[in-house]
Structure 1
């Protein structure tokens, strides 16, 4: 089950998009855990028919998992991650428009509105006004989306919690072990279950495209059969959020390079990511596949001026390949072959092969969020303590005040305040078995997993407060009356003439407040992405 802040945010998201009835069902499941249909109806206070309709809608939009239980029959569970991803749906549509044009954005938006759809339903809904030209355009865009894994098939297995399947497969593998299982056999059973789960996911992905045989007859008597991939019209497709999240991650890394170096270095890293874009399928990848300098150079356009970011000693203009090598050397911190240089790098270069290090960059981005929060709450001294403990490990109060060049009277309250915020933790090391406080060492350190979890909960609370503030602003009587008036068909066509000056000013103020709240929400959501989605890359921070 989700914690209190995450549950409140999920309930708010569902209520804003599906209404109060669906929010009541989600609230019960988030509070009580997985439940069967009759118990959900009784606890939510809704009729059985209404509860069933709400569950069907939530399952259609991938917010609920359902599974078979030996005791209760069919039970339902909230997919918290899928619910929280709905905050990024607008960004997914914008990315689809940048990558595939307006046709791709229309397809993605339509699928997001309906949860999952078949190709024939997608084409028929979008090509109502121009069946001939629009149908071909949308069919081509749909093929590109499916071929690039931006849309994935929705099968029966995708509605079951992966945790349930993993547990069931592990039980089946352990049942094959005769006698008392050893640690090695248990580990092999878990690995076999993981491999089986991954194989099922790969097989489900392949059902989206099918091979179509086409005969080509020429003047000769021989006929050649050519196979081409076409979209399977019998499969329901849903948006693959992970593929869009990969673009968000790449944008964050490019922005970090531009912030640290310059725009030309950002162009080089962007070209490196584009060279391996087709093979980036998982957000949990440690690094990209190897690519060559020639492939990176092919991704650079003729208008990209790499010389603007370098100070060249020779007056003669250097070649693109030589400047590219210089930039990759800078991004790989080739001038600092130490652990510190390795931790500050963006790419790794081995001869002519280049890889972008997602794990190293992700760990650094997460630590930067931690330092930003420490600076906001405790000033520069808080950042100094965080960096000192991250670099040196466990230290006592006297060492921190001495190495951090702070007085003891200032260090003690600072450490206590940071401990209250869960930014740092305390480790007790007793000298004797009685654990007497006078004979105990108290060492300060940073438990990154704990700190990131607390920060993530605070960010969820902030997102909930932002949405609540936006709703409160729109529910003010004056603003609400003007918004309802603008929704009228006659007013929406001619707002300048049918709205008074005072009403237009109220609308302008409301839109300005909404814009500020939206920008704030995007910044907080970016921090959530770094801590949660890139979290798998930073669990082993040393």
Structure 2
């Protein structure tokens, strides 16, 4: 955990929950696992405010608690990685919308907003929203099937619960219960919907469901790999890799470094059944050979029986992706010559300064300058070795080398710093133009209300003219700036995700 990371976490908490929760969260980030009274003492907040902040953080699974030595007292720990995930909520919702449709999108949106629901309450809420926002009627049965499909795909997971009556309970859940469909009573939901029965009468009360972020990250990881191969080769290569990853899940744990062997015949049969990639089917063996020889080392042959089996090497793949990302950063931050030096040092593992000048074919003075610039920015490391036991000036020599782990962590720090700057800039833009933005929101609200009442177009245009042309121009500029900042934020998050994947597999 670093200062830059902490600043991002604090800013996210401040934006979403306010200053009190941010203060408590920042303290927990800095000091780790602490009891309630320590938080009160060091934050100078009233005990009621601290409790309220902790309740909010626990509700959103951003804080966990464990019993202290004295089992009547709880220790609280901030789950800082989950705080960072809040920036990806839009991605999660978009992914679900593409795969399952609008109803599942609303289900996921409600879960992310409230953190957890019972299935029956979730159905009631989504029915209400579909009717209000989309003017669409949907049956309880249809929504139940949507929830069950999300459970089957493991995008939802049951929350742990307490099985003991203790002051500080331990929350547990059996593995078989995590994705087991709940009991949903259509008649009872209908009675609650028509206000003829209380919500407490629903049969699945106390069985709460939340979002399984791990499942989303599997999809994001797979998409990252597939897109990399599409960019490097073509759509057919990407489809081959997608099917290979799909078959991997059948026989291997999702986060395994190396998969169990996948028969290539299965992939060929799937391509034939789909009948959407005829080019891949026609040149199937050639694609297999090309991907096997690729520098990313994603697949390797593990057997020749039945046409051959291949294993997926995810660790090597993300190591290669990390190298390529770092090389691109060096290229953009410095220049092509610096990137050439970096690649040379990487390929040689250990290299003397004089060799860099010769092999990189760069003038000695410039090569030395760039090498030490890379060293200063921590893209290169240096090691001094003695030639003998004597201490003369020429009895030692210097070697340059690269340490990918260190570079990745340093790059992550740069990403967190960039992320903080982007978020700060967005807040600044909102603050500077707060008056105009608020005015625009008020006008939009009035127009929506009048449109719902069936107002004439002339009346609506009169309301729209409340925003003057100069103000409209400013709003357009703000919109352009915010879109750019949002795009950059998404791209930085993609880089963070890739680098985190590399660290996960180490």
**d(CA) in 2 for partners of 1:355 and 1:106?**
38
Q: Deviations over 1:359-400 (max 9, x none)?
A: 222111100111011112221122112211222111111122
**d(CA) in 1 for partners of 2:33 and 2:409?**
24
- Give the 3 Å change call, closer, same or farther, for CA 284–482 of structure 1 in structure 2: farther
Q: How many Å apart are 1:464 and its aligned residue?
A: 0.4
Residue equivalent to 2:239: 267
Structure 1 vs Structure 2 CA RMSD: 2.8
**d(CA) in 2 for partners of 1:211 and 1:51?**
35
**d(CA) in 2 for partners of 1:370 and 1:465?**
21
Establish whether residue 483 from structure 1 lines up as the match of residue 437 from structure 2. Answer: yes
SS in 1 for 2:382: strand
- Give the 3 Å change call, closer, same or farther, for CA 394–78 of structure 1 in structure 2: same
Residue equivalent to 1:126: 126
- Give the 3 Å change call, closer, same or farther, for CA 483–134 of structure 1 in structure 2: farther
For the 8 Å contact 2:271–2:277, the answer to whether it is kept is no
Residue equivalent to 1:145: 150
Residue equivalent to 1:227: none
**d(CA) in 2 for partners of 1:285 and 1:472?**
43
Q: Which deviates more, 482-491 or 457-466? A: 482-491
Q: How does 1:374-413 map to 2 (within 5 A)?
A: 374-413=330-369
- Give the 3 Å change call, closer, same or farther, for CA 142–377 of structure 1 in structure 2: same
For the 8 Å contact 1:271–1:300, the answer to whether it is kept is no
Establish whether residue 346 from structure 1 lines up as the match of residue 351 from structure 2. Answer: no
Q: 1:286 aligns with which of 252, 258, 271?
A: 258
For the 8 Å contact 2:240–2:267, the answer to whether it is kept is no
**d(CA) in 2 for partners of 1:275 and 1:233?**
37
Q: Deviations over 1:24-65 (max 9, x none)?
A: 101111222222112212222211111101101101111112
For the 8 Å contact 2:6–2:26, the answer to whether it is kept is yes
Q: How does 1:94-493 map to 2 (within 5 A)?
A: 94-128=94-128, 133-156=138-161, 203-204=174-175, 206-209=177-180, 234-276=206-248, 282-283=254-255, 285-287=257-259, 290-298=262-270, 304-307=276-279, 320=281, 322-333=282-293, 343-349=295-301, 350=303, 351-433=307-389, 438-476=394-432, 479-488=433-442, 489-491=445-447
- Give the 3 Å change call, closer, same or farther, for CA 71–412 of structure 1 in structure 2: farther
Q: Which deviates more, 147-156 or 122-131? A: 122-131
- Give the 3 Å change call, closer, same or farther, for CA 145–302 of structure 1 in structure 2: closer
Q: Deviations over 1:410-443 (max 9, x none)?
A: 2222121111111011112223457666422211
- Give the 3 Å change call, closer, same or farther, for CA 205–517 of structure 1 in structure 2: farther
Q: How many Å apart are 1:291 and its aligned residue?
A: 4.6
SS in 2 for 1:209: coil
For the 8 Å contact 2:247–2:262, the answer to whether it is kept is no
**d(CA) in 2 for partners of 1:238 and 1:456?**
29
Residue equivalent to 1:530: 498
**Which residues of structure 2 form unaligned runs of 5+?**
163-169, 184-202, 450-459
For the 8 Å contact 2:123–2:144, the answer to whether it is kept is yes
**d(CA) in 2 for partners of 1:118 and 1:269?**
37
Residue equivalent to 2:67: 68
Task: Give the TM-score taking structure 1 as reference length.
Answer: 0.77
- Give the 3 Å change call, closer, same or farther, for CA 433–151 of structure 1 in structure 2: farther
- Give the 3 Å change call, closer, same or farther, for CA 211–463 of structure 1 in structure 2: closer
- Give the 3 Å change call, closer, same or farther, for CA 536–286 of structure 1 in structure 2: farther
Task: Give the TM-score taking structure 2 as reference length.
Answer: 0.82
For the 8 Å contact 1:486–1:492, the answer to whether it is kept is no
Residue equivalent to 1:31: 30
- Give the 3 Å change call, closer, same or farther, for CA 113–285 of structure 1 in structure 2: farther
SS in 2 for 1:76: strand
**d(CA) in 2 for partners of 1:82 and 1:524?**
17
SS in 1 for 2:254: coil
Q: How many Å apart are 1:270 and its aligned residue?
A: 2.6
- Give the 3 Å change call, closer, same or farther, for CA 71–439 of structure 1 in structure 2: farther
**d(CA) in 1 for partners of 2:100 and 2:54?**
33
For the 8 Å contact 1:491–1:499, the answer to whether it is kept is no
- Name the count of aligned residue pairs: 455
For the 8 Å contact 2:182–2:207, the answer to whether it is kept is no
For the 8 Å contact 1:491–1:498, the answer to whether it is kept is no
Q: How many Å apart are 1:356 and its aligned residue?
A: 3.6
Q: How many Å apart are 1:303 and its aligned residue?
A: 6.5
SS in 2 for 1:428: strand
- Give the 3 Å change call, closer, same or farther, for CA 141–526 of structure 1 in structure 2: same
For the 8 Å contact 2:103–2:126, the answer to whether it is kept is no
